[in-house]
Amino acid sequence: MNEFQLIQQYFQQPNLAFSNAYLRHGIGDDCATLNIPSEFDLHLSLDTLVEDVHFPKQANAFDIATRALAVSISDLAAMGAIPIGFTLAITLPSNDESWIKAFTAGVAQAAQFYHCPLIGGDTTKGPCLVLSLQVHGITPNGKGLSRGGAQLGDKVYVSGNLGDAAGALPMVLNDPSLNTGLAQQYYAPIAQIEFAQAIKGYASSCLDISDGLVQDLNHLCKASNVGMVIDPGLIPMSDELLKTYGNAQALTYALSGGDDYQLAYTAEDCQYGICIGEVVAGEKVEVKGMTLAAGGYQHF
Ligand code: ADP
Ligand code: MG
């Protein structure tokens, strides 16, 4: 199967490369063309995932795919944007058709779930599997969320349980095909698109927690020029994480582990999510009663 047959049969399949109101030209032309009405802002984000850095090489192709799109779309959720389409650059070591079939089935399932079609991309051969996804989303003009708006006296919230993906990682590395229980939380994070729509009227700032709660909240503090006090007793954690690791290790995962893709945000008062602390004067996150070793994922 050559490059063009592969694109046509697998990437251009109707449940993946579907159309929507914003798409003029999708796969098959030299560019994808989007028609964005003037009352919307367009939000873009690009993520690259490298085998054995961002996911185990031996993982199921389907799981690699669903996770790749979810983590990319999570950045749109953080901005309060609605997905409208994504491009995918894939570097493959070989044209293993069964792998590509499973991979594109996973991408298609996630694309359907987020109503976000594949609109273009690039297919190349290279020494290892690398995926780059550029996601595109819209908000009404000026209505996007950002890291920059936290106000003194705001409360700090998260959208759901933390630490599951970090707790799953040792299991996933031990058995990359394991995709049940906690491992499911690693492979199938859910980008919080709908949740972000619910908090948009309340949130003064927002980001997605990809690299660990404390590290990511520190980014928010820097952008907003504030500090935060977090109460570790308020951090939501799943029963499964607590049961598997006990409270202390679970809390370490929840505070410093990455890959959960929940949202963290600040608001004066909000009925959605779980309050874990407050915004104070300062420039950093303090976790009450704890001194944290520099936590969170960094490539360099
Ligand atoms: P060009 O040579 O003009 O850059 P390509 O031959 O690379 O075009 O791609 C042909 C068409 O297929 C383009 O519309 C491109 O966006 C699309 N395409 C290529 N690879 C992928 C992919 N992995 N996913 C989605 N679309 C792809
Ligand atoms: Mg061209």
Q: Nearest-CA neighbor of 172 among 254, 63, 276?
A: 63
Query: What's the rounded mean pLDDT across residues 63-89?
Result: 98
Tens of pLDDT, residues 144-177 = 999 999 999 999 999 999 999 999 999 999 998 8
Q: Which residues surround ligand 2, an ion (CB under 5 A)?
A: 30
**Among 141, 159, 132, 180, residue whose Cα is nearest residue 260:** 159
Interstrand relation of 130-140 and 40-50 (parallel, antiparallel or unpaired) = antiparallel
Query: Going by C-beta distance under 8 Å and a sequence separation of 6 or more, which residues neighbour residue 23?
Result: 32, 33, 34, 35, 84, 85, 117, 119
pLDDT value for 241:
97
Rg for the chain (alpha carbons), in Å? 20
Residue 120 Cβ contacting ligand 1 at under 6 Å: yes
Q: Whose CA is nearest to atom 19 of ligand 1?
A: 122
Atom of ligand 1 nearest to the CA of 30: 3
pLDDT mean over 185-205: 96
How far is the centre of ligand 2, averaged over its atoms, from the C-alpha of 28 (Å)?
A: 9
Q: What does the pLDDT look like over 227-279, one tens digit per residue? A: 999 999 999 999 999 999 999 999 999 999 999 999 999 999 999 999 999 99
Domain 3-140: give its CATH superfamily.
PurM-like, N-terminal domain (3.30.1330.10)
Please tell me the distance from the alpha carbon of residue 292 to that of residue 166, in angstroms, as a whole number: 17
Q: Where are the beta strands (DSSP E) in the chain?
A: 23-25, 33-34, 40-50, 82-92, 118-125, 130-140, 155-158, 203-209, 227-230, 262-267, 274-280, 285-287
Domain with CATH 3.30.1330.10 in the chain: 3-140
Residue-wise pLDDT tens digits, 20-61:
999 999 999 999 999 999 999 999 999 999 999 999 999 999
CA of 31 to the centre of ligand 1 (A): 8
pLDDT at site 178: 85
Residue nearest to atom 27 of ligand 1 (CA): 121
Among protein residues, the one whose CA lies closest to atom 7 of ligand 1:
122
Give pLDDT tens digits for 214-230. 999 999 999 999 999 99
- Helical axes 239-256 vs 213-224, angle rounded to 10°: 40
Going by their DSSP bridges, the two strands 227-230 and 285-287 should be labelled as parallel
Q: Is the pLDDT of residue 19 over 90?
A: yes
The answer to whether the beta carbons of residues 286 and 231 sit under 8 Å apart is: no
Q: What does each C-alpha distance from 110 to 73, 114, 160, 285 come to in angstroms?
A: 10, 6, 20, 34
300, pLDDT greater than 80: no
What pLDDT is stored for residue 299 in this prediction?
Answer: 58
Q: Taking 60 as the threshold, does the pLDDT of residue 294 lie above it? A: no
* 278 neighbors 223 (Cβ within 8 angstroms): no
What pLDDT sits at residue 69? 98
Q: From the CB of 121, is ligand 1 less than 6 Å away?
A: yes
Residue-level length of the chain: 300
279 contacts 222 by C-beta, under 8 angstroms: no
CB-ligand 1 contact for 7 (6 Å cutoff): yes
**Ligand 2 center–CA 30 separation, angstroms:** 4
Average pLDDT over residues 99-126: 98
Q: Which atom of ligand 1 is nearest to the CA of 17?
A: 25
Q: Which of 27, 69, 90 to mutate to test the pocket of ligand 1 (most atoms within 8 A of CB)?
A: 27
Between 185 and 231, whose confidence is greater? 231
CATH 3.90.650.10 residue spans of the chain: 155-287
With H, G, I as helix, E, B as strand and everything else as coil, classify residue 193. Answer: helix
Q: Where are the extended beta strands (E) located within 128-256?
A: 130-140, 155-158, 203-209, 227-230
How far is 26 from 32, CA to CA, in rounded Å?
5
Tokens in use for 75?
């950045």
What atom of ligand 1 comes closest to residue 118's alpha carbon? Answer: 25
Q: Is 31 in the pocket of ligand 1 (CB under 6 A)?
A: no
Superfamily grouping for domain 155-287: PurM-like C-terminal domain (3.90.650.10)
> Which residue's CA is the nearest one to ligand 1's atom 18?
121
Residue 103, classed as helix, strand or coil, is helix
Q: Which residue from 4, 7, 25 has its CB within 8 A of the most atoms of ligand 1, so it is best to mutate?
A: 7
pTM for the whole thing? 0.94
> In this predicted structure, what is the pLDDT of residue 298?
58
88 Cα–ligand 1 center, Å: 9
Does 143 have pLDDT greater than 60? yes
How far is the CA of 170 from the CAs of 40, 166, 256, in angstroms?
Answer: 42, 8, 15
Q: Check if 124 has its Cβ closer than 6 Å to any atom of ligand 1.
A: no
Angle at 50 between CA 26 and CA 238, to 5 degrees: 95
Per-residue pLDDT, 296 = 59
- Work out the angle at residue 136's Cα, subtended by the Cα atoms of residues 133 and 139, and round it to the nearest 5 degrees: 150
pLDDT, mean over the chain = 95
What average pLDDT does this structure show over 120-142? Answer: 97
Q: How far is the CA of 120 from the centre of ligand 1 (A)?
A: 6
Map residue 14 onto helix, strand or coil: coil
Per cent of the chain over pLDDT 90 is 90
